[in-house]
Amino acid sequence: MHRDAALDFDPLARQLQQLAARRGWMMSARDCVDSTNERVRALVESADGGVPAPAVVVAAEQTAGVGRRGARWLSAPGDGLWFSLVVPAGPALPDAPPGLALAGRLVGVLQGQGVPATVKWPNDLYLNEGKLGGLMIERRRLGGEVCWLAGVGINWRQPGGPLDAAYRASAIGEAGDGWRGDSIALALALVEAAVTVMSRPADWPGEMARLSRRHYGFGKPVAVEHGNGARATGIAGMIRPDGDLEIAQADGRVIRAGTHDRVRVLVERAGTDSY
């Protein structure tokens, strides 16, 4: 992986501002922020008349980006696409999990532009056996309304520093010959797809149906650590419409892994690959 496979932020920011103006988004593009999640919260809270639909913050660099379970996410200039968005959520809870629906839509965009990414349960993006990107989804009250807040980080090139988490990173630049290489067009498509799918909960069950048996772990041996400390092994099966992962055990029983459980794929080479 060459370190010159950078995402050029300035032209991306200009085109995102134009896209936001056409779509009616509230938009902020910043060279450096602590966290795009924190900046989009502040953007929404500062708006008059409630939550604009939607609000987006994109940054060239994050100094305090955070991944799932509190892991530090390295977000240096040129290394990737770092953005957060807020859309109104409405009073009712959805039937399908937004994190998986969003991950499924982003993977669809990546695959459509020649990047053979997959979704790794519960909501990571994977490429070439490594973590390409991650998502953080919250449902919270902002600007007087209940909203969805989604943070997205996608590597364009390998992080330049050591990772806190025990996984191998991957990057868009490792996609091979299938990727057509238009970084700005791909980044724009990813941001627009994220805003679109998060604004349309009615689309989430369809995303889940497409993803059900087409995820990274499907058919692979896995180990499960449940939130209560119980452990099990088996073969990963479908992702259910409610977002739980089915795991078939050797005795024929099917168990489920949910939000508070950890699952890792067991690989033949030395070591393991963790969800």
- For residue 54, is the peptide bond before it cis, meaning its omega torsion is within 30 degrees of 0? yes
Q: Tell me, yes or no, whether 269 and 197 share the same domain.
A: no
Q: What CATH number is given to the structural domain containing 270?
A: 2.30.30
Does residue 2 form part of some domain? no
Q: Tell me, yes or no, whether 195 and 66 share the same domain.
A: yes
Domain count, the chain: 2
Strands of the sheet containing 221-225, edge to edge, are 254-257, 245-248, 231-239, 221-225, 262-266, 272-274
pLDDT in tens for each of the 275 residues of the chain? 344 578 999 999 999 999 999 999 999 999 999 999 999 999 999 887 777 779 999 999 998 766 555 556 667 889 999 999 999 998 888 889 999 999 999 999 999 999 999 999 998 999 999 999 999 999 999 988 899 999 999 999 988 765 556 678 999 999 987 776 799 999 999 999 999 999 999 999 999 999 999 999 999 999 999 999 999 999 999 999 999 999 999 999 999 999 899 999 997 554 445 55
Q: Tell me, yes or no, whether 57 and 148 share the same domain.
A: yes
pLDDT in tens, 43-101: 999 887 777 779 999 999 998 766 555 556 667 889 999 999 999 998 888 889 999 99
* The last residue of a domain, from among 182, 211, 240: 211
Q: What CATH number is given to the structural domain containing 73?
A: 3.30.930.10
Does residue 160 form part of some domain? yes
Q: Tell me, yes or no, whether 182 and 255 share the same domain.
A: no
Q: Tell me, yes or no, whether 38 and 163 share the same domain.
A: yes
Question: What whole-number distance in Å separates Cα of residue 113 and Cα of residue 124?
Answer: 19
Question: What is the CA angle 191-195-201, rounded to 5?
Answer: 145
* The last residue of a domain, from among 161, 176, 211: 211
Q: Tell me, yes or no, whether 149 and 270 share the same domain.
A: no
Q: Tell me, yes or no, whether 28 and 113 share the same domain.
A: yes
